[in-house]
Each structure stands twice: as C-alpha cells, then as structure tokens.
Amino acid sequence: MENFSRFKNQKAIVTGGSSGIGLAIARRLRAEGATVAVFDFDPKTFAALGAEFGAGHRFVQVDVTDEGRVNAAVAGLVAEWGGVDILVNSAGITGVSARKTHEITFADFERVVRVNLFGSFLTAKAVLPGMVARRYGRILHIASIAGKDGNAGMVSYSSSKAAVIGMTKSQGKEYAESGITINALAPAVIQTPLVDAMPPEQVKANTDKIPMKRCGTLDEIAAMACFIVSPETSFTTGFTFDLSGGRAVY
C-alpha cells in the first residue's frame, strides 16, 4: 500500500464485511487509516474481528433488508461518530444457481433481489442525508459482471446486479453537485467463500469467459474499491468500474 493514511479521520461502513470481499475491503480501509463499522447478518466472526481491528471500530448485526434496523444502526453510528464518510455495499448472495428460470422459485428470486438490491438502496438512503449536509461522501455498490452480461443459470443474481448498476447511474446523477460520488464495481469471479460454495461447473463456466483464465483476488478488489472511495476519485460518479480480467471492457 502506497498511502497508509489516505482515509485518516474518515468513518466507513462496510456491509457484508465479516467475510469475503467485504472483509478484504474493510481490512484495507482500516489499514489506510479509516475507522470502520462492519454490518453483517451473521455475528459469529465479530469477536475475532474486534480483536483484530482494535478499539474504535464497530461490528453491528444488521439485516440490510430491514429498513428499521438499517436506519437505527446508521443513526447510532452518526450519533457516535458525527457522520459517515464512506459506505461500501458488499452484502450479497447468489441464490440458487445452475438452474434455468422455470426451475427457480419466486421466493428465491425475491430473496436475492432483497439482499443485493434492496439492501444497497436502504443503506445508501440512510447515509445520504448526512453526506448531503456535510457535502462529502463516497458510496460504492458492489455489482457484478453478471449484471452487465447476464450469467446463464444465475437469473436471480444477474437481475439483481443489473438493477444495482442502474441504481448507481441514477444516484450518481442525483447527487453529482453535492460533493458525493456514487459508483459501482463489477467484478468477474473473485475467489471468495461465496464462490467456493457454488457448483464447480458454474464457476468453470464463468472463469472460462475471462481472458486471463483465472479468478480475481481479494487483494485486487480491495485495492480498486479503496481507490474508488478515496478523496482522489472526485470527478467520477454514476460509473461502473470493471474488475474482470478482460471479460468486459465497456
């Protein structure tokens, strides 16, 4: 890391931050000076992460699909911190995969959309008033190349991530004059526990589409995410960055 104090005195929320992509981003933000609050549905790793991160950081059990819980969690942090500078929405699920549309239940489709889209909407909605008042903020929604290309056998996930990209475009324009940037990051397959749990044939089908013929790493996505939410990235908003090993260049 070139700049260990890039986020000094900044406060950041990372949803889905107790594992995988979210944890990698939370760790890098902390390493570069941010005070971090991890929002996650499953608190089983909180004790270990609290010991790792140290004093001042927060670990909050939050269902990002529950508006009341989200609002209460954000309000509590704002009262303690005085404001939130950064929001990274990494909470996400794939749902049932390696199935065609007629084999997917509506309940599964709805569950994926609620977590991936509604969760990102609700957390952004909760932090935006404070960012507007302070005329500064960085919001990053973790989308997916599946939201651009559409992955066969992943209709729920692809649809939800396409919606996240559309939401990012709208939000970026809405707050463009407010000192706030709102962007998305669309990775191809990143080696995470979420990917490890997918059917091997589904992972192979996706990595075969990547010209580099490999998964991305957690270090690579954390580095790009922190660039996007840094003060330096001040003239880009409503944009979806790719991290795809050459799979998508648009």
What's the CATH number where 37 sits?
3.40.50.720
Q: Whole-prediction pTM value?
A: 0.94
Q: Which of 14-23, 29-38, 75-84, 209-218 has the lowest mean pLDDT?
A: 209-218
Q: Predicted confidence band at 3 (pLDDT cuts at 50, 70, 90)?
A: low
Give me the catalytic one of 136, 157, 175, 250. Answer: 157
Q: Are 207 and 243 in contact (CB under 8 A)?
A: no
Check residues 165 and 152 and name the one with the higher pLDDT: 165
For residues 111-115, give the mean pLDDT: 98
Helices (H) and strands (E) in the chain, counts: 10, 7
Q: Are 138 and 84 in contact (CB under 8 A)?
A: no
As given in the structure block, the two tokens for residue 164 are 């996240």
Inside any domain, residue 29: yes
For residues 78-100, give the mean pLDDT: 95
Give dist(CA 12, CA 162) in Å, integer.
Answer: 25
Number of domains in the chain: 1
| Residue (of 29, 17, 34, 7) closest to 223 by Cα position | 29
Inside any domain, residue 1: no
Q: What does the pLDDT look like over 52-85, one tens digit per residue?
A: 999 999 999 999 999 999 999 999 999 999 999 9
Integer angstrom CA distances of residue 29 from 33, 86, 159: 7, 10, 29
Domain that holds residue 216: 11-243
Inside any domain, residue 3: no
Q: Any catalytic annotation for residue 157?
A: yes
Inside any domain, residue 6: no
Q: What does the pLDDT look like over 159-191, one tens digit per residue?
A: 999 999 999 999 999 999 999 999 999 999 898
Inside any domain, residue 44: yes
pLDDT at position 1: 45
